[in-house]
Each structure stands twice: as C-alpha cells, then as structure tokens.
Structure 1
Amino acid sequence: MKENKYPMLMPLNIQTFAENKVRYGVKNVHFAPITETGGVITFGTPIKFPGAVSLTLEPLGETTPFYADDSAYYVSVSNNGYEGTYEVAEIPLEFRTKILGDDLSEDGILTETTTAKPKQFAMMFEFDGDVKATRHVLYNCTAARPSQGSETKGESIEPGTSELSFTASPNADGVVKRSTTATTTDEIYNAWYTKVFEPTVVPTP
C-alpha cells in the first residue's frame, strides 16, 4: 500500500458537513501589503478596509479550441486571475499611502503624483451564507486609482462611494485565490484575518 505523504490532506467525508446553499453580503475586507526581497514574497499584517458596499470578480482568461475531425477536438482554458471592482464608502488613508503610493506630509496634506508607484497587496474578504460565511484571499492584487464622486445634499443624505478597480493575478506558483469551506478547521477559519493564509503542506501535482 502506498504511503500517504500528506497526512493533513486525507480525504474528508464531505457529506458530514453542512454547506451553504446561498451567498449574500460582503464584509471583513482587509488588505495586506506585499514586499519582495531577493525574489521572496512576504505578506504584511492584514489591515481592515471598512465600508464595503459591493465586491465583484470577473474571471480573466481565454478559451482556445483546437479543431479536428470537423469539431472542437480539444479546448484549452487559461486562468489569468480576475478583474475586480470594490465599491466602498471611503478609501482609507492607510490604503492610499501604503498601496496607491500617495504622499502624506507632516502637515496632514495628501498628495497624489504622476510618479506614484502602486504596490501589490493581498486582499481578504468574506461572503455570508445561510450556514457560515465563506472567507477568501486573493494573493497578488494591483489597484488602479479609485473613482470618486458626490452629489449635492437634498432632503435626504445619499452618501457617495468610491470604486476601486483592481487585478488579481496568479502568483509565481500559479495560485490565484484560496477560500474556506465547510470542512475548514476552526483554527484556520478563526485566524483568517490575523495573517495571510499560506498552507504548511502543499501536495505536488
């Protein structure tokens, strides 16, 4: 009998776990700055990104058919990550300075320049469900400058929002995103926002 090299990854009886039937809401958005030293990626401590209104992810990739015998003989599908949009009540100052590259002077003035160099970051968030919220992490995100706007105040106040467009690309190892499931241990689930999740054991293909 072949020895199991990855005892942590033994098959689970999924039928014993209650899975979500629906998905709704978005909350607990965090970002973690990325630093790279000598080709080694390090994730900073996750920072709260409050005020979530909506978050959408559109897949990036191509479907390429190969035709033979007068039909689509083989179809290849590439995964290039996601294009995302995060609508938020307001962009936090920490995100503007640590990720977008805006300058904050000693007199409290925020300056946006053409020479700013946005930094990569990991993004963490959760979608609620009828059983338990599903938590996600995107490992390699790059954000564009957010859109901004507001309207004159009428009889009622309608707060303006900002839209942050970002790209979630695959890591060097091909990983784009990880998510919790009904089978995720409490230890991992409860610590999801304390640091960017990186598995201790990863099986080779």
Structure 2
Amino acid sequence: MQEKVTFGLSHVHFATYTETDGAIVFDTPVPIPGAVEMTNEAVGDPIKFFADNMVYYQADNNQGYEGTLNIAVVPDSFKEKVLGEETDTTDGVISEYADAKTKPFALLFQFQDDIKARRHVLYSCNAQRPSLSSTTKTDSTEPNTVELTYGAGPVIIDNRPIVKASTSHSSPPAVYDGWFQTVYTKTAVTAPEGA
C-alpha cells in the first residue's frame, strides 16, 4: 500500500538535545503551532572521481537538507530554547542578546496523504534568526507569517550518521501514536530480550 498524493502540513514540533559522552539525549518535543508551509532541499553534491577519461567512481554525498518553515508566529518557547533569547522573570521581557548561542534540535512534523499521514523527524537542525517584519492592516486582513530557515544535517545515533526518519504504513501503533511524545530512535523501541 503506497500513497498516491501528499498534501497538508501539521503537528510541527521541536526537541532540543544535548550530547554527553557521545550519546544524544533529546528533550520532550514542544509544539510549534500555526504551520503554513515547509520545504527541505537536499544538500550534498555527488562525489565523482575521473580516471581513464571517464567517471571512474561516483557516490552519493548526503549532507542533509536546507529547510524553511513558514509559520504564524515564532513561539516564545522556541525563542528561548533554540535561539537562546532570555526572558526576564521580573517583567516578562524577552531579550535577544548578540552573544546568544543557538541550540541544535530535532524537527518533527506530519504530511497528510491520501491513505494515512506520514510522520517525520529531522534529527539535527540548526536555526537562523528569523527576520522581524509586519505590514499594516488592510481590507483583506491577511495575517503575517514568519519564515524560519534551518539546516538539517546528520547526527550519530547507534553508531551511524542519521539525517531523518519517517513512519510507514507498517509502523506499529506504539511508534506512530508516540511520534510527537518522544523523539524516535531505534533503541527507544527495541523490544527487551525474551519479549
């Protein structure tokens, strides 16, 4: 069973992570509401080695994706956890400091298709600061949107460089239903011995 068409974007989440002694530990995914559009362009030119007046050897060079996510607004949670902005607890003001350090994160999302929505995760993303803009209200009253630009590259999980993972129509309910509760890794769903 294979889908014929894809349409729709929903359930966008982000999950920051830390690396300790070579192990990646993902935080709980946090929703990014108001997703409008997403594009992910493949990065990595093929490797070609020329000899004997021809392409003697060639191989793929998967360096991940360059992506954009168009959303209604950037959530304060994303500004703080990913972009490194700071909220003053005494007056609630969120400040962007020039020396702020961004944090890598996993990006989770869902594409609807004609059979069942397919869920995805890009494991290691780094976001750029979004532009700050707006337009005056007009008769059409069309809302403004914000575009987040990010790079999504490989990260080492289970001793292999992985860029992304997606559910399929054979994914068990435990994996599919829990997709936005924790970041999927193969070890997280490995059955214990004797199970």
**Shared fold (TM-score greater than 0.5)?**
yes
Deviation of residue 72 (structure 1)? 2.0
List gaps (5 residues or longer) in structure 2.
191-195
The alignment's C-alpha RMSD in Å is 1.2
Kept in 2, the 8 Å contact 1:136–1:177? The answer is yes
Residue equivalent to 2:173: 186
Counterpart code for 2:169: A
- In 2, distance between residues paired with 1:78 and 1:37? 27
Deviation of residue 105 (structure 1)? 0.5
Give the one of 87, 94, 99 matched to 1:104.
87
Residue equivalent to 1:133: 117
Bigger Cα displacement from structure 2, 95-104 vs 55-64: 55-64
Give the one of 184, 189, 192 matched to 1:197.
184
The percent identity for this pair of structures is 44
List gaps (5 residues or longer) in structure 1.
1-17
Superposed CA deviations along residues 134-173 of structure 1, whole A, max 9, x for unmatched, are 1001111111101232111111211111110111110122
Q: How does 1:75-90 map to 2 (within 5 A)?
A: 75-90=58-73
- In 2, distance between residues paired with 1:39 and 1:197? 18
Q: How does 1:1-205 map to 2 (within 5 A)?
A: 18-106=1-89, 107-172=91-156, 173-200=160-187, 201=190
Residue equivalent to 2:193: none
Bigger Cα displacement from structure 2, 66-75 vs 161-170: 66-75
Superposed CA deviations along residues 53-76 of structure 1, whole A, max 9, x for unmatched, are 111101111212222343323212
Aligned length: 184
Superposed CA deviations along residues 34-88 of structure 1, whole A, max 9, x for unmatched, are 1223332110011111110111101111212222343323212210111110010
**Bigger strand fraction:** 2
Superposed CA deviations along residues 92-124 of structure 1, whole A, max 9, x for unmatched, are 000000110001112011111111000011110
Give TM-score, length-normalised by structure 1: 0.86
Please identify runs of 4+ aligned residues in structure 1 that moved more than 3 A.
none
- In 1, distance between residues paired with 2:68 and 2:173? 30
